[in-house]
Amino acid sequence: MIITCPHCHKQHNIDEKNIPANATKAKCKFCGEQFSLNISDKTSIVLGQQGEKKAVGPRRISVSLSKGGVGKTTTSVNLATGLSLAGYKVLLIDTDTQGQASYMLGVDPSAGLTELVMGELALDEAMVQARERLWILSGGKSLAGVKRLIGRKDFGGELTLSETLSVVDNQFDYVIVDTSPGWDPLTVNILFYVSEILTPVSLEVMSIQGMVEFLKSIASIQKYRPEVSLKYILPTFLDKRIKKSVEIYEKLKTLYGNNVCEPIRYNVRLSEAPAYGQTVYEFAPGSHGANDYRELVRKVTNNYNLFK
Please tell me what DSSP assigns to residue 31.
T
Strand, coil or helix: 79: helix
State the pLDDT at residue 203.
92
Ramachandran bin of 302, using left for φ above 0, alpha for ψ from -120 to 50, beta for the remaining angles: left
Lowest-confidence segment of 9-23, 99-113, 263-277 by average pLDDT = 9-23
Mean pLDDT over 109-135 rounds to 95
* Mean pLDDT in residue range 172-187: 93
Average pLDDT over residues 267-278: 94
Q: Tell me what the mean pLDDT of segment 139-150 comes to.
A: 90
**Which pLDDT value is given to residue 10?**
63
Q: How far apart are CA 101 and CA 277, in angstroms?
A: 10
* Burial class of residue 226, CB neighbours in 10 A (0-12, 13-18, 19+): exposed
Q: 44 with 56: CB under 8 angstroms?
A: no
Average pLDDT over residues 60-78: 94
Closest to 105 (Cα-Cα) out of 71, 142, 140, 80: 80
Q: What percent of the chain has pLDDT over 70?
A: 87
Q: Which fold has domain 59-301?
A: Rossmann fold (3.40.50)
* pTM (2 d.p.): 0.81
Spell out the alpha helix ranges (H) of the chain: 72-85, 100-105, 113-117, 123-126, 143-152, 160-164, 185-193, 205-222, 243-256, 268-272, 280-283, 288-301
> In terms of DSSP bridges, do strands 2-4 and 11-13 run parallel, antiparallel, or are they unpaired?
antiparallel
Q: Is the pLDDT of residue 15 over 90?
A: no
Looking at residue 154, its pLDDT comes to 76
- Angle 143-152/185-193 helices, nearest 10 degrees? 80
Q: In 3D, which of 62, 304, 45, 44 has the Cα closest to residue 197? A: 62
- The model's confidence at residue 54, banded by pLDDT at 50, 70 and 90, is very low
Residues whose CB is less than 8 angstroms from the CB of residue 242 and which lie 6 or more positions away in sequence, other chains included: none
Q: What is the model's pLDDT at position 38?
A: 60
Query: What is the chain's mean pLDDT, rounded?
Result: 87
DSSP letters, 114-146, are HHHHTTSS-HHHH-EEEETTEEEE---TTHHHH
Q: Determine the Cα–Cα distance for residues 49 and 113; give it in Å rounded to an integer.
A: 31
The neighbour count for residue 171, using CB atoms within 10 Å, is 15
Identify the weakest region by mean pLDDT among 17-26, 193-202, 285-294.
Answer: 17-26
Please give the Cα distance from 248 to 207 (Å, whole number).
10
Question: Are residues 231 and 174 in contact, defined by beta-carbon separation less than 8 angstroms?
Answer: no
Q: How many CB atoms lie within 10 A of CB 111?
A: 17
How many angstroms separate the CA atoms of 4 and 53, rounded?
11
Average pLDDT (134-156) is 89
Q: Which of 73, 68, 66, 114 is nearest to 92 (CA)?
A: 73
- The CA distance from 13 to 94, in Å, is 37
Instruction: Report the share of the chain in percent with pLDDT over 90.
Output: 61
Alpha-carbon span 66 to 69, nearest angstrom: 10
**DSSP for 286-304, written as a single string:** TSHHHHHHHHHHHHHHT-T
CA distance 162 to 135: 18
What value does the mean pLDDT take over residues 212-238? 92
Q: Please write the tens of the pLDDT for every residue from 240-256.
A: 888 888 999 999 999 89
Residue 133 is predicted with a pLDDT of: 96
> CATH 3.40.50.300 residue ranges in the chain?
59-301
